[in-house]
Amino acid sequence: MDHSTFVMLKPDALEAKLQEKILDMFREHGISILKKKTVTVDEATILAHYADVIERLKDAIPDFPDRIRKEFVGKQVEIIEMATRHHDIITKVREIVGATDPAKADPNSIRGRYATDTMAKSNAEGRMLRNLVHASDSEETAKKELALWFKSH
């Protein structure tokens, strides 16, 4: 029985042409790609994708929706459904991706190896953190994100 999750290669990963290097890191861990598509991000989809984060940060970072729009709208991302027989694909994928802040990520993780941004830098510049990859944080989130992205594109 395969278990699947949602992964998005963000605009900074595509701009740096890191898609294959990133996908190879997942493949090395026995994770396969079920579906993959390059899409141009529209405002409605990306704001729906980040709705929970927007809600959580509304007091701390009131301009977060604007930061999201600037970083994503009109740019390309690669949306991917990944699968493995591994029962906890979400944990495994997030381990491979690395800590949210690339400065704190394991050097052998995707963010540790390829990301050049840091949380401190992005906060100081009032913009989204450019950390290459989004990976669902739970089975429920994965189902929602897969439906959102693959339905609308």
Residues carrying an active site annotation: 134
Q: Which two structure tokens, joined as six digits, stand for 116?
A: 């050049």
Q: Which two structure tokens, joined as six digits, stand for 80?
A: 């991917």
- Taking the C-alpha atoms of residue 85 and residue 78, their distance in angstroms, rounded to an integer, is 23
Which of 136, 27, 25, 32 minimizes the C-alpha distance to 85? 32
Phi and psi torsions of 146, nearest 5°: -60, -45
Tell me if 101 sits within 8 A of 131, measured CB to CB. Answer: yes
Q: Which two structure tokens, joined as six digits, stand for 135?
A: 């990976």
Tell me if 114 sits within 8 A of 40, measured CB to CB. Answer: no
